[in-house]
Amino acid sequence: MKCFVIFVVLAALAMSLPATDVAADPSLAGQAVLVSGNLSGSLIPEGSKERIPPNVQLTIAGGQLTISWDAEPGATTYKVYSSAQPDGGFAEDLGGTFASHSWSAPVGASVRFYYVTTITGGVIDSLVFLEGGTFNNNYCNVTISSFYLDRYETTQGDYLTVMGANPASGHGEGFNYPVYNVSWWDAVVYCNRRSMLEGLTPCYTYPGFGSDPDGWPPQYYYLLLPCDLGCNWNANGYRLPTEMEWVFAARGGNLANGYLYSGSPTIDNVAWYVDNSGGNSHAVGTKNWNELTLFDMSGNVWEWVWDTYGTLPITDVTDPTGPSYGTSSLLRGGAYNQSASNCQVQNHIRNSQNGFLPQSAGGFRVARRIPAGK
């Protein structure tokens, strides 16, 4: 699960507050403020399963305030929080009445700030459409076709839902924390299993054993190298981004500002790394996002990409998928236990590891070539 919201502050006066109510009781004007935004770090506790439902609105009429929202698929419950301050002190507000997708309460004597959360089951779809473009990878021009990339690193909650286990332990644990201590192989299996759970066509094929991971033998019996695994690039299922897709996205795609880190020239704004992490990973999305609204592309956990380790493209190319032969796999982005220099995205910091062995600070995020439902 992931907590993500778009920041808005809407005073009741600006939300169609009826003139008759203001005239009858001027103190009602502006007495309720809806607060929502990238609040996962400051309001929603790390590790929480809660997130903000879509299209939250606040209205006041007849001395009652009503907060309404659109139904969230898979929602099991909703909660309303309030505080006298906009940036802290929030607690669940038990003074109102829930309807199906709304909550009402008397307008208080003092300004109150509100936000709504929901708890859902299953894996949350948080893919971001990234418009294709051309960028320079420091050696040549690389053209990337449009694709979808998860706004967040795959969480422990997501991984548990799909794989039935959570390998993360000892360096930040919680539903909204990134999964770590996984191998490249684990990430590939996750992608195919999640695709099948959602009725999508899996991208990866084990030669001679098909695309269902439950029918795959242990990789070391038949599949000796990561590059031996087949990928159907036209399939609509989940997959790992290629290294150049990852770099394109981390640098900000067509909106890139040339920042040293993903989304900022100042690492503490966007990354959990050795100097600020306390030696642990942190809930996804608790630092600022980059130009493409992607979180944690610098730091938190290393991210496996599709490519086998080898030479970077040095001549102009479109949609490269890495070397056709190699003995190790790649991680990008740095991690909570890495120096600032290892979290850079303008320079190529490449972590080459055995793709069949779990990496203690290694995680991943998923991509798709074709949008959901297509």
List, as one string, the DSSP characters of 176-192: TSBP-SB-HHHHHHHHH
pLDDT by residue, tens only, the chain of 374 residues: 443 332 222 232 223 322 222 223 334 445 577 765 444 344 555 545 667 777 788 888 888 889 888 776 556 567 888 888 777 777 878 777 777 688 888 887 666 788 888 765 556 568 889 999 999 999 999 999 999 999 999 999 899 999 999 999 999 998 889 999 999 999 999 999 999 999 999 999 998 889 999 998 876 555 557 778 899 999 999 999 999 999 999 999 999 999 999 999 999 999 999 999 999 999 998 899 999 999 999 999 999 999 999 999 999 999 999 998 888 999 999 999 999 999 999 988 999 999 989 999 999 999 998 654 44
Return the SS3 of 302.
strand
- Give the 3-state secondary structure of 148-166: EEECCCCEHHHHHHHHCCC
pLDDT of residue 69: 82
Tokens of 166: 């959570």
Tokens of 236: 């609509």
- State the Cα–Cα distance between residues 258 and 333, nearest whole angstrom: 16
Return the SS3 of 277.
coil
3-state helix, strand, coil in the chain (%, to 5): 15, 25, 55
- State the Cα–Cα distance between residues 105 and 115, nearest whole angstrom: 14
pLDDT of residue 275: 97
- State the Cα–Cα distance between residues 310 and 229, nearest whole angstrom: 16
pLDDT of residue 41: 41
pLDDT of residue 312: 92
Q: Which residues pair with 230 in a beta bridge?
A: 205
- State the Cα–Cα distance between residues 210 and 230, nearest whole angstrom: 10
Structural domains in the chain, sorted by start: 8-120 (2.60.40), 127-368 (3.90.1580.10)
- State the Cα–Cα distance between residues 170 and 360, nearest whole angstrom: 10
This prediction has a pTM of: 0.71
